A and B are shown apart, each in its own frame.
Chain A
Amino acid sequence: MTVEGETVGAEGPDTRWSPLVVALHWLAAALLLGLLALGWFMVHGGADAARRFDLYQLHKSFGFLALALVLARLAARRAPGAAPPPAPMPPWERRAAALAHGALYALTLVVALSGWLVVSAAIVAIPTRFFDLFVIPDLPGVGHAQFETATTLHFLAAWLLAGLIALHVGAALKHRFVDRDAVWSRMAPRWPGRR
């Protein structure tokens, strides 16, 4: 009568990601959702020329931050001790999850790099001042001819990423509320001082 199902999970192996991986995940979540919203708003939001200029500059700075962050995340999850044992899941689910996660990383890289390509190929060459701290150079060997291709790639990859994020969130919520298994808690935010 004292304890019920709770202790079962607690005695099993800890399948949670390291605090660093969890922190970087949620940081990336906020950044990518913010960038998608900003990217839409700066084009369709009806802002005037000056405001729009600032929004584009902000989008570029946060975009490079996202590029740095995805590289940091790839490094962090490969660090010794960072990768936990897998959560209990049927093999097909594990394969689908691995595929989706790989695609999330790949698409984030494609969106960020194609954004850099857009900036580098733009006819209106506006220097990328990373949060007004320093200038990020354009990619070498890129000409105006690549502008259309780069823009289309950036646009399509961004929408694909948005769709994949929706799938990812849906799957996570399914584990949390339908399966009620340990998958959600692997990446659930944890606050210092709380277990």
Chain B
Amino acid sequence: MVDVPPRIARQGRGAALAIGLALGALALSTPSRSASNWAIDPARTHITFDIDAVAYPRTHGEFRKFAGTIAVDLEHPARSRVSFHVEAQSVDVGSASFNDYVRSAVLLDAPRFPTIDFASTSVEKLDERRVRVTGDLTLLGVTRPLGVDVEVERRGEGTHARLGFTARARIDRLEFGMNSGFPVISRDVDLVISSEASEF
């Protein structure tokens, strides 16, 4: 008889934050309950990235549309799961023509690869404020392992407790076959996902 962990699943535009969410809860080790219900606030959720280029300002971008699911098992952290799906077409780097270029075949190739996906494979608690989520990232149809460090911060008290999450990862775009513009455009893409969730 397999012990089925108590779990919650949340879905929504903001849920990419799942990562943070899930792991955050783990890190803070919410007392006395094996699972707690957390709702992500989409308005406070941002999936952003930064990339450098030679003789060019650092480009900052954000994905506006995403969805995800999260299952938290506080007693067995390793059984927690998180996955998210980001719409490549929703990339926003600050100007319409720049967006078109980033979406085009030379970079995200959004028409061919509409989503960028992440699914966790393991979760490890680093300390009281940080967890490390390891998973598979699929970009341009190529799947590679990715480690994400998540910082958790408790905001507010009592019945209105809120958890802030900041997840950081560095992606080597060459690993996914995104070679265009290299070496003028850096191979490293810094990913920062921030979110806030509240208990209900």
Contacts and interface: CB of A to CB of B under 8 A. Distances in A.
Contacts, number: 46
Given A50-B93, A54-B97, A123-B184, 19 more contacts: A49-B56, A49-B58, A49-B98, A50-B59, A50-B98, A51-B94, A53-B93, A53-B97, A53-B98, A54-B95, A54-B98, A57-B97, A123-B181, A123-B183, A124-B181, A124-B185, A125-B106, A129-B97, A132-B97
A50 B94 contact: yes
A54 B60 CA distance: 15
A158 to B, nearest CB: 17
Q: Kindly list the 10 A-B residue pairs having the minimum CB-CB distance in the complex, ordered from nearest.
A: A50-B94, A49-B59, A50-B95, A53-B98, A124-B181, A49-B57, A123-B184, A54-B95, A50-B98, A124-B184
Q: How large is the interface on A (under 10, 10 to 19, 20 to 34, 35 or more residues)?
A: 10 to 19
A52 B184 contact: no
A126 interface: yes
Nearest to A124: B181
16 contacts: A48-B57, A48-B94, A49-B56, A49-B58, A50-B59, A50-B95, A53-B93, A53-B97, A54-B95, A54-B97, A57-B97, A123-B183, A123-B184, A124-B53, A125-B180, A127-B101
Nearest to A122: B184
Contact of A52 (B57, B106, B182): B57
Interface of A: 47-54, 57, 123-127, 129, 132
A53 B184 contact: no
Given A49-B59, A49-B60, A126 B101 contact: yes
Q: How large is the interface on B (under 10, 10 to 19, 20 to 34, 35 or more residues)?
A: 20 to 34
Nearest to A132: B97
Nearest to A49: B59
Nearest to B97: A57
A49 B94 contact: yes
B56 A52 contact: yes
A54 B53 CA distance: 16
B175 to A, nearest CB: 20
B49 to A, nearest CB: 12
Interface string B32-66: 00000000000000000000010011111000000
A121 to B, nearest CB: 12
A126 to B, nearest CB: 6
A57 B60 CA distance: 19
A48 to B, nearest CB: 6
A51 B59 CA distance: 11
A127 B94 CA distance: 18
Nearest to A129: B97
A41 to B, nearest CB: 14
A132 B96 CA distance: 11
A129 to B, nearest CB: 7
Nearest to B99: A50
Nearest to A144: B184
Contacts of B97: 53-54, 57, 129, 132
A123 B106 CA distance: 12
B93 to A, nearest CB: 6
A54 B100 CA distance: 12
